[in-house]
């Protein structure tokens, strides 16, 4: 299955072709959103905030705190799960996670936001989540403090034991020094040892004081605090909820339908641009016309007798006739019997089945030619079930009756009153083209509406017309796409050979005498 590569131009083209459908989807989405906001209970929101203990460089505190880690801990079973167990009725962790979100504006502040259709339950969830965080931080800090306290007590006991040993050594050394004669070598040695023991004693006392100060400084430092209790539950007003839900429904409807349309467009092999249609048929586009298809037999009769094209369509139809008719054919002038006799021209307007826009080209072209003063004969040559209405309208017209001035339907050819122009309407079945029989010397004009035929179907039309020994003079595109900026007047080989136009107003130009010079914003004419 062939799929077309998408770009922004194709997406925009698909969306523009279905603006009405997108508008309906947007309206339905907005209505659905407003209805949902009206019938669904409002969601109440409650918020609480917890200040975590300050980080420290001690063994108890932490030098750095990561906000993402704190949020993960707060949303775990240790905090959020424990908070759900304290609610009435109890809620598991999965339910709590659906209604409570945790965020950290700073690494030291956690915000618990609870949302629920029950206002009291929303406030209770926010309050219990904050309380669970306080308990978790407190228990963790208590465990750390206990471990630190045990370490400090062991340290103090070791220091005090060493201090007792030093005190005992000081007393012993002092007694021994006093027993020695003053000024003797033994007395001096004992004095030096006593000085060292005294210094060691002072160091131990200082260490004991430092450990005691550290223990007193850690008291209460690792305690979290509740800086905002669970706020009163709030919910947006009905008008705000309707506006927000309506806007979201509108956007959702447009986006979903747009995705569906673009998905179908990827599998759509029908040709919409004139260059693509011309390349598939191998013939250039003569003109682009707005079609006037009819749905009933009476509508086709009205089109045949009263069709008046606009200025743009009239010029397009005139270009088509000028391309097919002889150069000296006096288009736009009335012809009398005394005029110079000219060979009648026969044009086969070939279209595909189930293409009402292309089917209308034959009546439109015949009606315009008759209005331009050309004796025209419109002949339903080969039909199809999809053209039954037009064929029935033609059958109800008497061959000798003029539908409008100089326009006959299926009038027999007469030598005394020949028609200057004969239009043969040929409708080819796109599924089974079959063989087409046309008079010799007939000029072929293929009519196709934009976005109705694939390259394969157009190739079948070209083969059928070629087998009838008819040269396709060109094609007429009915109802071209509004985003189509191509013309179809040059086929792909001609477009490939075309030089690309410069994107800037600088480059080579020709001076007098045909000598190339360089011009630009800075440079002048080369000498």
Give tens-digit pLDDT for 117-165: 888 999 999 999 999 999 998 888 777 777 777 787 888 888 888 888 8
* Residue 109 exposed, middle or buried by CB count within 10 Å (0-12, 13-18, 19+): middle
Distance (Å, whole) CA 317 – CA 217: 99
Q: What is the DSSP string of 107-148?
A: TTEEEEEEEESSHHHHHHHHHHHHHHHHHHHHHHHHHHHHHH
Tokens representing residue 131 in the block: 């309380």
Domain that holds residue 474: 274-497
Reduced 3-state DSSP string for 441-464 = CCEEEEEEECCCCEHHHHHHHHHH
Residue in this structure with the two tokens 């040993």, named with its chain if needed: 165
Q: 56-83 pLDDT, tens per residue? A: 544 444 456 788 999 999 999 999 999 9
Question: Are residue 280 and residue 424 in the same domain, yes or no?
Answer: yes
Question: Are residue 156 and residue 243 in the same domain, yes or no?
Answer: no
Q: 335-368 pLDDT, tens per residue? A: 554 455 567 889 999 999 999 999 999 999 999 9
- pLDDT at residue 308, as a whole number: 93
Q: Which of 200, 228, 256 lies at the terminal end of a domain, its last residue? A: 228
Distance (Å, whole) CA 335 – CA 401: 19
- pLDDT at residue 434, as a whole number: 84
Question: Are residue 54 and residue 35 in the same domain, yes or no?
Answer: no
Distance (Å, whole) CA 36 – CA 42: 10
Report the CATH number at residue 469: 3.40.50
Distance (Å, whole) CA 36 – CA 220: 51
**How large is the average pLDDT for residues 249-278?**
87
- pLDDT at residue 521, as a whole number: 38
Q: Which of 197, 228, 259 lies at the terminal end of a domain, its last residue? A: 228
Q: Judge whether 511 lies within some domain.
A: no
Q: Judge whether 104 lies within some domain.
A: yes
DSSP state of 234: B
Question: Are residue 402 and residue 427 in the same domain, yes or no?
Answer: yes
Q: Using the predicted structure, report yes or no on whether residue 455 has a pLDDT greater than 50.
A: yes
Q: Judge whether 283 lies within some domain.
A: yes
Strands (E) in 204-284, as ranges, are 225-228
Please, what is the average pLDDT of the chain? 83
Question: Are residue 395 and residue 459 in the same domain, yes or no?
Answer: yes
Q: Using the predicted structure, report yes or no on whether residue 5 has a pLDDT greater than 90.
A: no
Question: Are residue 129 and residue 250 in the same domain, yes or no?
Answer: no
Q: 213-249 pLDDT, tens per residue? A: 776 665 555 678 899 999 998 888 778 888 888 899 9
Band (183; pLDDT cuts 50, 70, 90): confident
Q: 456-501 pLDDT, tens per residue? A: 999 999 999 999 989 889 999 999 988 888 888 888 777 767 666 5
**How large is the average pLDDT for residues 182-210?**
85
Distance (Å, whole) CA 504 – CA 506: 6
Q: 161-178 pLDDT, tens per residue? A: 888 888 888 888 888 888
**How large is the average pLDDT for residues 275-303?**
93
Question: Are residue 242 and residue 160 in the same domain, yes or no?
Answer: no
Question: Are residue 176 and residue 263 in the same domain, yes or no?
Answer: no
Q: Judge whether 502 lies within some domain.
A: no
Question: Are residue 186 and residue 332 in the same domain, yes or no?
Answer: no
Question: Are residue 50 and residue 35 in the same domain, yes or no?
Answer: no
292 within 8 A of 364, measured Cβ to Cβ: yes
In 370-402, which positions are buried (b, 16+ CB within 10 angstroms) versus exposed (e)? bbbbbbbbbbbbbbbebbebbbebbeebeeeee
CA angle 472, 478, 480 (to 5 degrees): 115
65 within 8 A of 55, measured Cβ to Cβ: yes
Q: Judge whether 430 lies within some domain.
A: yes
- pLDDT at residue 413, as a whole number: 67
Q: How many domains does the chain have?
A: 3
pTM of the model: 0.59
Q: Judge whether 13 lies within some domain.
A: yes
- pLDDT at residue 210, as a whole number: 83
Q: Which CA distances in Å does 512 have to 515, 516, 525?
A: 7, 9, 11
- pLDDT at residue 338, as a whole number: 45
Q: Judge whether 519 lies within some domain.
A: no
As a whole number of Å, the CA-based R_g of the chain is 48
Q: Which CA distances in Å does 169 have to 61, 193, 406?
A: 39, 10, 143
Distance (Å, whole) CA 233 – CA 114: 9
Find the length of the chain.
527
Question: Are residue 144 and residue 87 in the same domain, yes or no?
Answer: yes
* Dihedral sign from CA coordinates of 94, 95, 98, 104: negative
Question: Are residue 357 and residue 375 in the same domain, yes or no?
Answer: yes
Band (278; pLDDT cuts 50, 70, 90): very high
Q: Judge whether 314 lies within some domain.
A: yes
- pLDDT at residue 60, as a whole number: 43
401 within 8 A of 395, measured Cβ to Cβ: no
pLDDT > 90: percent of the chain: 39
């Amino acid at each position: 299955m062939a799929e077309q590569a998408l770009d922004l131009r194709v997406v925009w083209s698909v969306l523009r072709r279905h603006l009405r459908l997108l508008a309906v989807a947007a309206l339905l989405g907005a209505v659905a959103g407003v209805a949902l906001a009206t019938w669904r209970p409002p969601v109440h929101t409650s918020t609480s905030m917890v200040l975590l203990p300050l980080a420290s460089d001690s063994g108890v505190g932490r030098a750095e705190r990561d906000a993402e880690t704190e949020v993960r801990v707060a949303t775990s079973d240790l905090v959020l799960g424990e908070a759900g167990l304290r609610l009435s009725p109890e809620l598991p962790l999965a339910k709590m996670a659906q209604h409570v979100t945790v965020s950290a504006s700073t690494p030291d502040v956690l915000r618990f936001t609870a949302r629920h259709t029950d206002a009291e339950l929303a406030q209770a969830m926010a309050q219990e989540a904050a309380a669970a965080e306080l308990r978790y931080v407190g228990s963790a800090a208590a465990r750390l403090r206990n471990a630190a306290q045990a370490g400090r007590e062991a340290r103090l006991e070791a220091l005090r034991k060493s201090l007792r040993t030093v005190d005992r050594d000081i007393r012993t050394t002092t007694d021994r020094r006093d027993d020695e004669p003053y000024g003797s070598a033994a007395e001096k040695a004992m004095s030096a040892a006593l000085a060292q023991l005294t210094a060691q004693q002072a160091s131990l006392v200082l260490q004991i004081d430092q450990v005691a100060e550290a223990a007193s400084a850690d008291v209460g430092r690792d305690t979290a605090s509740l800086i905002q209790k669970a706020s009163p539950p709030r919910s947006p007003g009905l008008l705000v909820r309707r506006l927000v839900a309506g806007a979201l429904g509108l956007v959702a409807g447009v986006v979903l339908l747009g995705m569906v349309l673009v998905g179908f467009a990827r599998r759509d092999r029908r040709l919409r641009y004139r260059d693509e249609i011309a390349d598939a048929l191998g013939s250039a586009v003569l003109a682009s016309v707005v079609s006037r298809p009819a749905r009933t037999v009476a509508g086709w009769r009205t089109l045949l007798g009263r069709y008046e094209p606009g200025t743009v369509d009239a010029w397009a139809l005139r270009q088509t006739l000028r391309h097919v008719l002889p150069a000296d054919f006096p288009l736009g002038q009335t012809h009398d019997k005394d005029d110079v006799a000219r060979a009648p021209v026969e044009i086969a307007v070939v279209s595909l089945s189930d293409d009402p826009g292309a089917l209308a080209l034959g009546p439109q072209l015949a009606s315009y030619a008759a209005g331009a003063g050309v004796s025209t004969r419109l002949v339903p040559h080969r039909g199809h079930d999809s053209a039954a209405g037009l064929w029935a309208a033609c059958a109800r017209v008497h061959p000798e009756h003029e539908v409008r001035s100089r326009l006959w339907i299926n009038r027999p050819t007469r030598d005394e009153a020949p028609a200057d122009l004969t239009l043969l309407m040929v409708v080819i079945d796109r599924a089974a083209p079959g063989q087409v029989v046309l008079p010799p010397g007939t000029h072929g004009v293929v009519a196709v509406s934009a976005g109705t035929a694939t390259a394969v179907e157009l190739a079948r039309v070209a083969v059928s017309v070629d087998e009838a020994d008819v040269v396709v003079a060109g094609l007429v595109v009915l109802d071209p796409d509004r985003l189509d900026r191509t013309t179809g007047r040059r086929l792909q080989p001609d477009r490939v050979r075309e030089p690309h136009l410069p994107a800037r107003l600088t480059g080579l130009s020709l001076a007098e005498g045909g000598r190339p010079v360089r011009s630009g914003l800075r440079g002048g004419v080369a000498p």
